[in-house]
Chain A
Amino acid sequence: MESAASVPENNGAKIVIKGVKKRFGPKVVLDGLDLAVPKGQSLVIIGGSGTGKSVTIKCVLGILKPDAGQILVDGEDTAKLRGNARDAYLRKFGMLFQGAALFDSMTVWENVAFGLIQGRGVGRKKARDIAFEKLTKVGLAADVGGLYPSELSGGMQKRVGLARAIAADPEIIFFDEPTTGLDPIMSDVINNLIVDTVRGTGTTTLSITHDLVSARKIADRIAMLYKGKIIWEGPTAEIDHSGNPYVDQFIHGRAEGPIKMEVKA
């Protein structure tokens, strides 16, 4: 993978997360997380299960409120957004969920068009055309558009989820475990689709995964999250020479090393 990305400067970053803390009851999930996602680049957060990867994304979206710290998107503090300003803020985002999270009461094309019709007031006919165009883009035939999500395989659901995430051409896309639960070939198909649909469009993406193959393929930069903090961050090519024993243990998948599996939550 190319590693043209340079060290991000805060003023050029699309998303800046500063000292964000979040805990649920006694369990500290994020413990002063600092991270900057450069504009137009793809940053992948890697880390074990339960290290707070999903919580990070939910904090940026405002689904969860951080206990402390600041999240800036385009230099704007997201904590103060209310009402219409928050609606406008959310229109910048698209997201592919781990389980696709398709609306099971709607057909595939209605799912893809949902954000256009409900969130952005696009006319139904126009939204339908865009939906079918995006479905083609993720390699689904037009006849899939009329099916319901329950009639699709996991890989196809992920594709529909991807089509829905890119439907409104958002400025920022989140990918939550895009390849989890897919076979290696389908994983590669999804990775390629992510790269194809996002590269060159100027879209900023933030992904979370523990699939290193996927991370290497879709990332410009990789950050490793451990115990609620970013312990390493750098260009994709440098991950093999990070000099960080935690990162080394993770990318080689060793049970022995500084990271101890916490059996008890």
Chain B
Amino acid sequence: MNFFTAVGRTTLELLKEIGRLSIFTADAVSSFVRPPIYWSLVLKQMMRIGFFSLPVVGLTAFFTGAVLALQIYIGTARYGAEQFVPTVVLIGILRELGPVIAGLMVAGRVSAAIAAELGTMRVTEQIDALTTLATRPVKYLVVPRLMAALVSMPLLVAVADAIGVMGGYVAATNNLGFTGSIYLNTTMNDLNSHDVMSGLIKAVVFGFLIALMGAYNGFHSKGGAQGVGAATTNAVVSASILILVANYILTNIFNMLNF
């Protein structure tokens, strides 16, 4: 009997959570097109979400690209197909690793920051204070962050793509004996707008998930310091998992569409 109670309670909690998240998302997205939009806050959040994530995203992209070249070399060399290293690195970075690595790093940095900030505002009643000052909290706090993430993530991923490919180039020329000009030529010849676009579309989706998870968890945090801590953890974990799940689904869709 206890077992069924537990299963039932968990199911109900899960459904409640999904319902709450859906309402929250609908509220936030529909606020995109209803004035007022706080443009100055959007710009400020773009600085925080996009610009200040550049170092961490750039560094991770560089080393991911480099290690990707080294590993692909091991695989391709078995069949004497080393000349495909630049192409596979390019596709791997543009389609998968650029957006996923950037997404996970930004999830760690930005989801956590948003959840902690909004969570603290919630438990110190600053969000209620907004309401009493005739300002809608979702419009003032959530919409600017969502918008900024939607715009910033593709830009970040474009940078991550370039740096990741450069990482592959550096590893290939330094450690694998590739000639720089040949590597670059192959890369440029195989550069394809579909590969770039599919990565950037993923970036937009990931950006949305990152800001949404941060805002949702922060907005609904309870209790004091412990509640804010839990909200921050939940934000990062749920954003990371959703990014990986969404990535799988999107890759499947792109494959089906031959994109």
A and B together in one complex: yes
Among all A-B residue pairs, the 6 with the closest Cβ atoms: A119-B134, A115-B133, A101-B125, A95-B132, A101-B129, A118-B135
Instruction: Count B-side interface residues using an 8 Å CB cutoff.
Output: 13
Residues facing B in A34-81 (CB within 8 A) are 58, 61-63
Report how far A93 CA is from B129 CA in the complex, Å: 11
Write the nearest CB–CB distance from A240 to chain B, whole angstroms. Answer: 33
Query: Which residues does chain A contribute within 8 Å of B132, judged by CB atoms?
Result: 61, 90, 93-95, 115, 165, 174
Query: Which residues does chain A contribute within 8 Å of B129, judged by CB atoms?
Result: 95, 97, 101-103
Q: Could you list 6 examples of A-B contacts with CB < 8 Å?
A: A95-B128, A101-B124, A101-B128, A114-B135, A115-B133, A119-B133
User: A164 on the interface (CB 8 Å rule)?
Assistant: yes
Are A115 and B124 touching (Cβ within 8 A)? no
Are A120 and B134 touching (Cβ within 8 A)? yes
User: B194 on the interface (CB 8 Å rule)?
Assistant: no
Q: Which secondary structure dominates where chain A touches chain B?
A: mixed
Are A58 and B140 touching (Cβ within 8 A)? no
User: A234 on the interface (CB 8 Å rule)?
Assistant: no
Report how far A91 CA is from B136 CA in the complex, Å: 12
User: B137-157 toward A: CB 8 Å interface, digit per residue (1/0)?
Assistant: 000100000000000000000
User: B76 on the interface (CB 8 Å rule)?
Assistant: no
Total number of A-B contacts with CB less than 8 angstroms?
A: 52
Query: Which residues does chain B contribute within 8 Å of A90, judged by CB atoms?
Result: 131-132, 134
User: B113-125 toward A: CB 8 Å interface, digit per residue (1/0)?
Assistant: 0000000010011
Query: Which residues does chain A contribute within 8 Å of B10, judged by CB atoms?
Result: none
User: Which residues of A are in contact with B by a Cβ distance under 8 Å?
Assistant: 58, 61-63, 87, 90-91, 93-95, 97-99, 101-104, 114-115, 118-120, 164-165, 174
User: B179 on the interface (CB 8 Å rule)?
Assistant: no
Query: Which residues does chain A contribute within 8 Å of B121, judged by CB atoms?
Result: 103
Residues facing A in B245-259 (CB within 8 A) are none
Are B125 and A99 touching (Cβ within 8 A)? yes
The CB with the most chain A CB atoms within 10 A, among B124, B125, B126, B129, is that of B129
Query: Which residues does chain B contribute within 8 Å of A115, judged by CB atoms?
Result: 132-135
The 8 Å CB contact of A99, one of B124, B133, B135, B136, is B124
Query: A88's closest neighbor in chain B, by CB?
Result: B134
Report how far A118 CA is from B36 CA in the complex, Å: 9
Query: A94's closest neighbor in chain B, by CB?
Result: B132
Write the nearest CB–CB distance from B113 to chain A, whole angstroms. Answer: 13
Known: A115-B134, A174-B132. 12 other contacts (CB 8 A): A58-B128, A95-B129, A101-B126, A102-B126, A103-B129, A104-B126, A115-B133, A115-B135, A118-B133, A118-B134, A119-B133, A164-B133
